A and B are shown apart, each in its own frame.
Chain A
Amino acid sequence: DIQMTQSPSFLSASVGDRVTINCKASQNINKYLDWYQQKLGEAPKLLIYNTNSLHTGIPSRFSGSGSGTDFTLTISSLQPEDVATYFCLQHNSGSWTFGGGTKLELK
């Protein structure tokens, strides 16, 4: 099974900061890596799919990059409404595996 290691687990940043979250796959997953945002009490929301494609309606301050085993979610300028937990998800292998999550808070 493919394992996803996400870092950091917690992140504190200020409004306007550039924020990066990383995910490492235990084996090559090609481009099949997505990023989700989950706010408290809500269902996860798709932000980025297939490494770097922005989902409909998602602000352009969110972007994704990477390939193979190493992937990054970047928020170019943190906004108060971005406070949430972020998950990566691989879907390369006929199954789906989530990263452990990154809880993002405002400093």
Chain B
Amino acid sequence: EVQLVESGGGLVQPGRSLKLSCVASGFTFSNYGMNWIRQAPGKGLEWVAYISSGSSYIYYAETVKGRFTISRDNAKNTLYLQMTSLRSEDTALYYCARIRGIGVMDAWGQGASVTVSS
């Protein structure tokens, strides 16, 4: 069974940093690109960042470019999102998602909650 489990969320002050992790199981992690997606409370979904299976290609949404860094460790079956210079508008539930084929996100984790507040 494909499983994605996010962790590392929490309450953080504006301007501080936080690192999310997403541990994958039930499939060959190194064969798949991965995305981070977020959902602010009561709002819609926003794509955050993409990393290819071998980390050769990385893309960011304009709203996080220069502040967030996506990375992965295929030996540990783990995806990361390093978030710096956090703002109140970064408050959201952060999901990791597996990408199949040309951009289809076919499996999602349950999300990690990030609250940016003083």
Interface residues of A (CB under 8 A from B): 1, 32, 34, 42-46, 49-50, 55, 87, 89, 91-92, 94-101
Which residues on the A side are within 8 Å of B37 (C-beta)?
96
Partner of B44, one of A49, A94, A96, A98: A98
14 more CB-based (< 8 A) A-B contacts, given A43-B111, A94-B59: A42-B110, A43-B110, A44-B108, A46-B107, A49-B104, A87-B45, A92-B103, A95-B61, A96-B47, A96-B103, A98-B45, A98-B46, A101-B44, A101-B45
Instruction: Knowing A43-B111, A95-B59, A96-B35, say if A55 contacts B106 (CB, 8 Å).
Output: yes
Check B104–A43 contact: CB distance below 8 A: no
Give, as a whole number of angstroms, the nearest-CB distance from A45 to chain B: 8
Check A43–B47 contact: CB distance below 8 A: no
CA distance A94 to B103 in the complex (A): 8
Query: Could you list 10 A-B pairs, sorted by A, with CB under 8 Å?
Result: A34-B104, A46-B106, A49-B101, A49-B104, A50-B104, A87-B44, A91-B102, A92-B103, A96-B103, A96-B105
What class of interface size applies to chain B in its complex with A? 20 to 34
Instruction: Knowing A95-B61, A98-B45, A98-B47, say if A32 contacts B103 (CB, 8 Å).
Output: yes
CA distance A40 to B7 in the complex (A): 20
Chain A contact residues, majority secondary structure: loop
CA distance A8 to B99 in the complex (A): 28
Q: Closest chain B residue to A99 by CB distance?
A: B44
Which residues on the A side are within 8 Å of B103 (C-beta)?
32, 91-92, 96
Q: Closest chain B residue to A98 by CB distance?
A: B45
**B74-116 CB contact bits vs A (8 Å, 1 = yes)?**
0000000000000000000001000001111111111100000
Which residues on the B side are within 8 Å of A46 (C-beta)?
104-107
Interface residues of B (CB under 8 A from A): 35, 37, 44-47, 50, 59, 61-62, 95, 101-111
Which residues on the B side are within 8 Å of A1 (C-beta)?
62
Which residues on the B side are within 8 Å of A91 (C-beta)?
102-105
CA distance A94 to B107 in the complex (A): 19
